[in-house]
Structure formats: C-alpha cells, structure tokens
Amino acid sequence: MGKVARGVMALSTKATHRQTRIHNQGLVLRTLYDRGPVSRAEVARLTGLTRTTVSQLVGEFVSDGLAREVGRGPSTGGKAPILVQVDADARHVIGLDLGERAFSGAVVNLHGEIRRTASLPVGGRNGEAALQVVYRLVEQLAGEAPGLLLGIGVGTPGIVDASDGTIRWAVNLDWQDLPLGRLLRERFGVPTYVANDSRAAALAEYLFAGGGGAANLIAIKVGHGIGAGFVLGGELFHGDGFGAGEIGHTAVVDDGEPCRCGRFGCLETVASSRAILARASDAAAAAPDSFLGRRAAAGHALDLDDVRAGLDAGDEATRRIVVAAGRFLGTAVAGLIGALNIEKIVLIGSVAALGQPWLEAVRDEARRRSLGMLGGGTRIDIGQISTDEVVLGASALLMVRELGLAPVR
Ligand SMILES: [Zn+2]
C-alpha cells in the first residue's frame, strides 16, 4: 500500500471513530433528556451501548454541566443506582422573531421554557438599519442570559436558505441574499440557525402544543403576511427552493389589487390583516355612523381590536368583512388538503385572534371545496401557542441541530 493510500485509510478510520462518537453522544444525551432521571444501566439498556461507553459519556456530560446526578433510584437487589438527567438550565438558546412591527426575542432553556424576553421596534427600518436592530436585540438578550449560550435561532419572514441561513428575499425588510446566519455566527461566535417564521411556528405548534401524536401538521400563519409551515413525518419540510408554504403570494383574484410583491390579486391582498383592515377602513369611511365609522372617528386608525369589538357587538358589516377574508383563506386551505391530505391544520398569527366567525368561514369554505372524503377527515383549529410560537420554534430548530434534542412539553 502506498504512502498516500495509507494516509487516506488512517484519515477515514479516524473520521469513522469520530462519527461514531458523535452519534453515541447524541444518543446518550437524547436518552437522558427524554427519559431522565435515569440510571446509567438503564441508558445502556435503552441505547444498546456498552455500560463502559455510557459511563464515559455521561461522565463527560456531568463534568460539562450539561447533565447532573439527582439522587438514587429504587434498588433492584443490589446497590440503588444513581439517577442522571439533563440540566435544562445548563445551556440557553436565544430565539428571535423578526416580525413586521417589532423584532422580539427570548432566552429559552433546553426544555423550551422562556427565561427572559426583549423587544425592539422596527419602525419601518429595513436593509442595514433593520440588521442593526437584530444585533442590538441579541446583545441585550445575551447580556441577560444565565448560563452558557448554545446558539441563536431566528425566525424571519421571507424565503430563507435554511442550510446556511441566507435570507434570499424578505420583501418587507428589503433583504436580498442577506447571509444573516453567517453574520450572527461571526459576530457572536455561536452556532446560528435561520428559518422562515411560518415554518418555525409550525414546528413550535408540533412540539409544544401537544399535537396528540400526529406525525403531520400544517400551520398557517395569518397576520400582516400569510405563510404556511409543513411538518411531514415529524420533520419540517422546506421545499426544493426553501419556499414550501409561501401561499401568501399565490394569486387568487383575477385583476385583483396590487400586492407588495409587485403582482396583483395575491392571497395576502384579500385574507391578511392588512386586507381586513383596509376593508374595515373603507366601510368606516363609507358609513361614519356605523360601528366601524364611530371607532374610526377622530383619526383613529382601525386595528384588529376594533374588528374584534365589531364582531363581539354583532355588527353585520364587520362580520361580512371577516367572513369574506376567511373564505379566501379557506379556498387556499382546500388546495393544501387536496395536495397533502394532512388532517391536522392549525391557524396562527394575529388574525386567528378574530376567533369563531373567521374560523367557521375558513372551515366551511375549505370543506366545500375539498373532496368530501378528505375534507371530512381534516381538523382545522386555532393554534394553541398564542404569541411566542416563532421564538420557540426557532429555538427548537437550533437545539435539534446542535444537540439532537427536540424539546417537548
Ligand atoms: Zn404578492
């Protein structure tokens, strides 16, 4: 065997050892996390690894502070075994939600529990100025984070190349081909994972909302914009060009209103919060003595709270606006039901707060336009995590990638 070939052999054997070690580390850590407090012997039994390997790896986790011993379990004849579990506060993740109005973030522990939060107004900033707001927010949260920082998870609107964290296109922030993942990694020296906000939110609903064991889920985020996230077989689906779920810019109205993407009649122009508020303002201007007209008096710009109040007061004009928006969304949902036959669909985002009349319109239209067999088996509900879904989902993505841990409540 030549010198070069021997070198390659040695290298690949080394690489294999390293891979095996990383694999075993992940396996043991995940077992401590999912099953802890648990004895070393039980970890060996569950993983199929030798007791020596398990003891060595657990020893390393304990000395790193990632796991700790928490007393003794029941004896099965001999000496009572020492139990070990992951210390959820040994590492923290910063999760960010780069929303339309404000950038918000949280320090999250390994159980997905929020320890600190912070929020900075974006105030119409975009481009480099918006990037500076991201930096300030991370600095603020990192300064308050207890324990070691494992990394940063970011949920942002737009098309995101999740493999390297490059934002290919975020129309409202005027970001194009922005390498946000690399910029944050270099600036803060920790691993960073960037994903589309709707996809991050879908993962949070899947992990934290007690999905009843369903392997598949669609979460549709309806706010200023509209986007969906698909969890297929327990994994986020990104699509071939990282655009899976970008339903907001599918044209649904021929010769419709101009959209901020530059085209006309997109779903966002008829079903987003902006669309609902534009209709409400039109109705208010047309009838100053109506419920909405009185709410809009004295120059007050109508918001979703006003619309909610109109629904609560039984105002018919408000109800018609909300139902029309819900029906447009229902049409889009019917398309997803036909394409994917996923039976658990959750609606999240600010518009979901409009509640029953909107939800009923979405459900009714989705069923009406679906094959009976498929529509009948599909459950469409309002999501269970109200405000922190993007932050929690982005944090979870980082934990899955760095530690192989999927936090579940
Ligand atoms: Zn559009």
pLDDT in tens, 81-134: 999 999 989 899 999 999 878 899 999 998 888 999 999 998 888 899 999 999
CA of 246 to the centre of ligand 1 (A): 10
Residue 199 resides in a domain: yes
Asked if 197 and 249 sit in the same domain, the reply is: no
Asked if 61 and 107 sit in the same domain, the reply is: no
66 closest CA partner among 321, 337, 402: 402
The answer to whether residues 343 and 231 touch, using CB atoms and an 8 Å cutoff, is: no
Total number of domains in the chain: 3
What confidence tier does 271 reach under pLDDT thresholds 50, 70, 90?
A: very high
pLDDT of residue 212: 60
Residue 408 resides in a domain: no
The answer to whether residues 10 and 30 touch, using CB atoms and an 8 Å cutoff, is: no
CATH of the domain at 126: 3.30.420.40
Look up residue 240 and give its DSSP letter: T
Average pLDDT over residues 277-283: 97
Report the complex ipTM.
0.99
Q: What is the DSSP string of 145-157?
A: --SEEEEEEEEES
pLDDT of residue 408: 62
CA of 268 to the centre of ligand 1 (A): 6
* Model confidence at 187: pLDDT above 80: yes
CA of 267 to the centre of ligand 1 (A): 7
Determine the structural domain holding residue 321 and report its residue range.
Answer: 211-382
Asked if 125 and 194 sit in the same domain, the reply is: yes
CA of 222 to the centre of ligand 1 (A): 14
pLDDT of residue 96: 97
Asked if 378 and 399 sit in the same domain, the reply is: no
pLDDT of residue 1: 43
Q: What is the pLDDT of residues 293-320, one digit of tens each?
A: 999 987 889 999 999 999 999 999 999 9
Q: Which two tokens stand for residue 210?
A: 């007690």
* Model confidence at 28: pLDDT above 80: yes
Asked if 122 and 135 sit in the same domain, the reply is: yes
Asked if 355 and 217 sit in the same domain, the reply is: yes
Asked if 194 and 225 sit in the same domain, the reply is: no
CA of 243 to the centre of ligand 1 (A): 14
pLDDT of residue 320: 97
Q: Which two tokens stand for residue 249?
A: 């810019």
CA of 131 to the centre of ligand 1 (A): 24
Distance of CA 263 to the CA centre of its chain: 27
Q: Which of 31, 66, 86 is the last residue of a domain?
A: 86
CA of 225 to the centre of ligand 1 (A): 9
CA of 265 to the centre of ligand 1 (A): 7
CA of 269 to the centre of ligand 1 (A): 7
Q: Which of 86, 117, 144 is the last residue of a domain?
A: 86
CA of 263 to the centre of ligand 1 (A): 6
CA of 79 to the centre of ligand 1 (A): 67
Q: How far apart are CA 86 and CA 58, in angstroms?
A: 10
Residue 60 resides in a domain: yes
Q: How far apart are CA 111 and CA 86, in angstroms?
A: 10
Look up residue 320 and give its DSSP letter: H
pLDDT of residue 3: 47
* Model confidence at 208: pLDDT above 90: no
CATH of the domain at 73: 1.10.10.10
